[in-house]
Structure 1
Amino acid sequence: MADSENVESHGERMQFVEEKEDGMDNEHRCQSQKCKISLSIFFIAIIAIAVVLGIIFGTRRTPNTDDGNMQPDKIKEAIYLKSEETYELTSPGYPANYPDMSREYWIIVVPENYRVRIEFIDMRTEYKYDMVRIGSSNETEVDYIASFNGYDLPPVITSTGNALWVQLFSDSVSTESGFHAMVKAVHDSDAVFRCSAGEKSCKYVEECYNESHSCDGSYTCISGHDEIGCACSNPFFFKCSDGRCLERTRTCDGIVDCSDDEHNCGFECDNGIYSISHAFLCDGINDCTDYTDEQDCECTGEKWQCPNGPCIYRNNVCDDYPHCPGGEDEADCSCKSWQFECPNDGVCIPYWQRCDGNDTCGDGSDEQDCPECPDKLYQCDSFQCLAVEKVCNGHKDCFTGDDEADCANKTIPSCPAEEFSCGGKCLRPSLVCDGVRQCKGGADEDNCTQESGSEMPDTTNCTSCSSGECIGLEARCDGNADCASGEDEEGCSTEVTPTSSPCPEGKDVCTSDMSCIPTSRFCNGIRDCPMREDEDSCTETTDSCSDLDDNSYFVCDGKEDCANGADEHCTCGTKPAKAAKILGGRLADQKGAWPWQVLLTESNSTQGVHCGGSIINKNWIITAAHCINSQSVGVIYVLAGVTDRTDIHPDIQYRGISQVVQHPNVSKGGFDVAMARVTEPFTYNALVQPVCLAEEDIELTPGEYLTVTGWGATGGGFDGIQLMEARLPIIPPHICNKWSKFTTSVLEARIICAGYERGLQSACYGDSGGPAVVQREGKWTIIGTVSGGSTCGTPYTPNLFTRLSFYHAWIRSVIQEN
């Protein structure tokens, strides 16, 4: 969670995928046909390069990993070229797909006074997640050049010394066919490239850039050489010495993204788990997740000094909640934290009326000190900063689309004649009609004739759907619709014979969904099977409602089983455990501070953070649809009673997921809500309680504060150790529409928008699905779940929450029907 308030300290949101690098036992080997130069000449150089590469591509830091295989990867292959010699380099298996979790390294070494030139003929890698990295090396220098992924061909690259390294890095999800490149040893004199007057030469490539391209927010040079000395437009970015601006989450992660993002990473956080860059100390952002990096710092910038106490965020001053030990932050407040005070008459106006082009205060004060994009970036009406090349390029990059307005007299970039154009994207001919949809809508694969002799999918070991998709035979009649139209569940027999019953001893099967329930629940007057088959054909029925017990499995499960709903007269939205506050910057025990918050993990442990969620009754949690689906059963686990993820105590309740119900319109977008039934009812206690559901007619007013909680990523990109909370003001839909890509009608009906103009506090990766709550009549009510937003914690980038009151009837129907 981007800096919010820590439930056990001060502190910050969305989904998070944890990467893990497995050590590969690749060997150093020499291509015998290329070894014309004595190995003894290069032995010392190769050893030195190998050592340095081991540092550059070090292991990603992950919390509490016990795999025992987190070792630096080794060089796969050392290739020696003699003068003017050419070598053909391809990824493993090319043109077939490279393996997942690839960690392949090549070093190409040429004689002294020569350089290595690499030209790519083909490049096909999974966009964003798999990549090819290139660096220029010799025994005294290691230069990181750039990373490439997707299908676009990299430019021709030439090393600065007599060695160059190439790495193929892939995750475990999807692979493509990889790359095909020609590598050549060229003499120093042939590597000289001269630019015209008024231009400067890019490093590593035979390209020049005009001074007008310096500090324009985009890399004319692949190494970012034209952006050296320029400012980054985002406070959560790290400025590399080679000109690049990186999200700070990409620093000190063991993967080189620029010349110095892996330097000075030795600051150890007090939690003993994370290390960060010294560059992030005392910058007001909670990179360590426990505020170690923000201790003993001056209260400057976005911080406010509590008298005889800690620094707090200016956002938290006058927000109707005391954050200082003596509550001084809530004294002498003339305006709320989300308001701007006009200096001439003391009138308070909403912050979103600042810098909107209207003189609301009457003296121009609310139109002063407005955001300005640095250097030569284009400023959108929404305060986004764009590279000038994105202006009038046929694509609306500003939320309000003002970058594409008044373009009559401007030149719109076009593709070369030999390339295919779609939506501002240029494709080389080999990518058209190759079976992969590169253009939005698949225009590059339209009007393609199928090659004769192409084979239809083999359906011998799968079930074919009407859409053409082939699913495993085991998915047929398993109670889950795996085909888009659900035909894999049609014509299934509901008869269950004793020999085919999937239930263990002491349980019987519900024939409608093949679930197992205790035999004692049959004929007890309570419907447990979806079609009530457990209460049909009973010769005698027990009246379970005659003597209700709070511990009865059907009490407080959200479904009215007894007359007048007596079994659902339950308490919600309370905190049995009194939450302590932060005193003098010290952490205090706050177990049970938000007892409905659950942790969704893939490991059934507190080590990883997949998403958040909320308990709404003993059997059901609610979360975001992008967090779970039908495939989450048996894969995602629900943990309740957790506050500090390092505190593994016996009161933590571990549950699996037996059923997932996504909103039926989730595929249309904007219906980001899902419910999950746990395998065993929660036991309510001081640490585990349900939250109250918002009614359909609940009213929310702009400026009202909501509280969002979660273990999501902090400034440094690490998952939170302690559960964190952020108190945010609700923003009007028409204002949020200006700062997001949603339309006002969608926002008002299905989304809640909240946040500060200054940013810093927000939900972030890993907080997705977690609760946004408000107090109503002394009880905490869930009004939304974390859904999305722009870059965590940046100014004018609001948090978006799924508005649960819109889905109230659907939520109730899911509980009643299941």
Structure 2
Amino acid sequence: MGVSTTPPRLLLPPLLLLLSTLLVPCAPSVVEEHRLSAMHGSVRSSGYPKPYPNEARQTWRISVPSGYRVRLQFTSFDVETSFGCEYDYIKVEVTNEILGQFCGRENGNTAPKAEPMVTPGNVVDITFVSDFSNDERYTGFEVYFTAVDIDECEEYARVDELACDHNCFNYPGGFQCSCQYGYVLADDNRSCTVECSNLVFTERQGELSSPDYPRPYPRALQCKFTLRLEEGFTFSLAFQGPFDVETHNEIDTCPYDSLTIRSGGKEWGPLCGTTLPDPIETRGFEVEVVFRSDTSGQNKGWNLRYTAKSIPCSHVTAPVHGSIEPVQATYSFKDEVVFSCDIGYRLIQQEDGKEVPATLQVECQKDGTWSREPPTCRIVDCGKPAQPNKGFCGSPDVTTYKSETDCGCIDAYHFTTEMNGVFICNESGHWTDPRSGEKVPKCEPVCGEPKHVIMELSRVVGGRSARPGNFPWQVLVKFMSGRMLGGGGALLGDRWVLTAAHVVEDYAANETTVILGSMKRVSLNDNLLGSTQHYTVDKIISHPGYDPKSTGYDNDIALIRLAGDAVTMTDSVRPICLPTVVAGGRVNPELSPNDVAFVSGWGRTAGTLGARLADTLQYVDLPVVPQVECERANSGKWIAELNTNSTVTENMFCAGYSEGGKDSCQGDSGGPIVVVQDTKWFTVGVVSWGMGCAKPGLYGVYTRVDKYLGWLRDEMEKNAVKSDY
């Protein structure tokens, strides 16, 4: 048991020694096992501070929470000394690693040092063993244990496999790693990585790289990039330096970090190291790029440029008299070409010879063919020009783009818009007037131009007869009831008749007949002689403001729409003109006092009761009366038909002579009062009412047409007959 200053032990004879050996028990006299789990505490030898027994074996397993270590501080130590501490000893170990085996007295070479001992983990085993005899009394030991927090952030920073990638925060019993913005913490709770899985790119060209390239890529990456286009494309991949993916010095299968590329059933990789990989030509229209990194390393990563490739289509050129867009040296899958023709030409499909409206787009297909055959350009052909109603157009031998033809209207008609009659075949395939843009020339009756202008003046009451063609707009309005007087009217255009509302107020359209071109009336049966046109009526439109019971003859104006075909113009049938509104809202011709106007009709030729109707169309010239005189002379007179006194409104005017003798009369109602301006005749009024006929101091009263121009045009447009256009 080593050198001792105590007397030598008694030597027994062999027999007695054998006997004593047989009498020694096989197990230690003291055997103890302890498990301690606490933040602090103490451990003592058996019987401490009294001498510990022989043949003792005591063990303590001390554990503190994870994230802590165990600090041991011996406060008393007195154990038998021996060489190598083989007799009595205290052993401190962690997971089969002996941290120390101690014996002797305090401050001895084999005793624990005065400084505390800190274990590397949170569990430590302490074992105390004494042999079968001690010549002296030894008191044993006492040791205090305390849980000590670990600063993992500082300790692990020096160990790459344990350190936090970005940020580390220590707390009692543990630590926490966190990542910078844009990164996520990996499953190992210390590595910072980025989300780069299932990223799909559909552009035909671009670049791919490891995250943060060319800075070191994050750890614990599981990246998957997919390049995807339509079937018919393939990809060319070209790596660009630097290329730096962590590798193994001895193993060439890239066990740490790796880049793998797959496409069309073929795989490239795994790739790692610093040698730039060769360019890759894929066989498919989809490429999968997989990049993985482990939890260590500081490598720059990789970068590649990808470009889509496809089968080229045959070269196309612009057709004659046409163009294509875009113009390229080559065309490949998905490229599009738009064909168009010069102005005056049309695209023609080669497949069926049909025209294409404006442009034709063709696409290069995945098999290298175009989606359609390239078209050709053909000059626009307008064909033979249509013959306008009441007009004519020439029949040119050439009818293609920019060809010309002359058009015109028959006698008594003219174009509806101002033009010289030259029509040109335009780019849309229509004959048009270059100034107005009108596609089909339209002819309408010439208004206010009688074939025979009156040469002398006469009277309606006691007047002289008109000659054929003097007043071709004059019409006779008759009714099925056979009323002798009937009424007059004026032809407007080739469909409408202007008359007075009081003439038609008691009759429906189907009871009304209009006669044009008549000069003579014979017998009381109203038989007509001359070149006449008879028309039925399908619509009568009286002014909505006409109400004789409340307003007298105010708004005494109406329109009659002729049924059947439009009126055919002759020498004896032509329309009158309505006044027009010119700049500043002024009406032309403007009605002024003393203007000479003309009234025509078949009314009574005398103002006496029972006077006969005129056999022949009569006319008379009448001066326009100043409005003040008109109102003075004609207002306040009793009108038996209306059972009220007469009123002259702003919608009326007077014409006649103060001495009488010339006037319109019963039977002339509804007929026009007209004026001539520069050889053009206009209706300025409608025969409406009067106090007798041609009496001194009294005048005939007329509805003023210029007050109703808007209403007249609106009603004729709203109720136009479509077949006339």
Tell me which interval the TM-score lies in, with the shorter structure as reference length: 0.3 to 0.5
TM-score relative to the length of structure 1: 0.30
Identify which of structures 1 and 2 has the higher relative contact order when contacts are C-alpha pairs closer than 8 Å and 6+ apart. 1
**Higher strand content, 1 or 2:** 2
Mark the structure with the bigger radius of gyration. Answer: 2
More helix by share: 1
TM-score w.r.t. the length of structure 2 is 0.34
